[in-house]
């Protein structure tokens, strides 16, 4: 058995929302900062339907003044590595 880190998308999305709110930012604020035409990407992040691309994740961490590790919620899962 091997332990592998897995990103919990739902909890990460909730975390993005909480961090955004704690910084006093709206979804529209993030939309404008990232130059998105619509807020759909931000909502997808917050609802755990998608994760920011790596470059957007780095930018999001800078905007929220946190580290990437403070944004992502990672859980460890056990995998059977027989035959690998």
First to last CA, the chain: 11
Residue 67 maps to a domain: yes
Q: What is the pLDDT along the chain (84 residues), one digit of tens a residue?
A: 888 899 999 999 999 999 999 999 999 999 999 999 999 999 999 999 999 999 999 999 999 999 999 999 999 877 777 655
Angle between helices 54-64 and 27-34 (to 10 degrees): 120
Number of domains in the chain: 1
Pairing relationship of beta strands 2-7 and 74-79 according to DSSP bridges: antiparallel
User: Is 39 a member of any domain?
Assistant: yes
Residue 84 lies in a domain: no
34 within some domain:
yes
Q: How far apart are CA 65 and CA 31, in angstroms?
A: 17
User: pTM, whole model, 2 decimals?
Assistant: 0.88
Domain encompassing residue 17? 2-79
- CATH number of the domain enclosing 11: 1.10.260.40
Q: Is 38 among the domain residues?
A: yes
């Amino acid at each position: 058995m091997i332990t592998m880190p897995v990103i919990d998308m739902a909890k990460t999305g909730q975390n993005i929302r909480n961090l955004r709110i704690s910084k006093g930012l709206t979804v529209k604020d993030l939309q404008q900062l990232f130059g998105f035409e619509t807020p759909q990407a931000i909502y997808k992040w917050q609802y755990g339907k998608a994760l920011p691309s790596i470059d957007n994740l780095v930018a999001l961490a800078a905007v929220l003044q946190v580290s990437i590790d403070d944004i992502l919620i990672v859980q460890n899962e056990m995998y059977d590595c027989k035959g690998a």
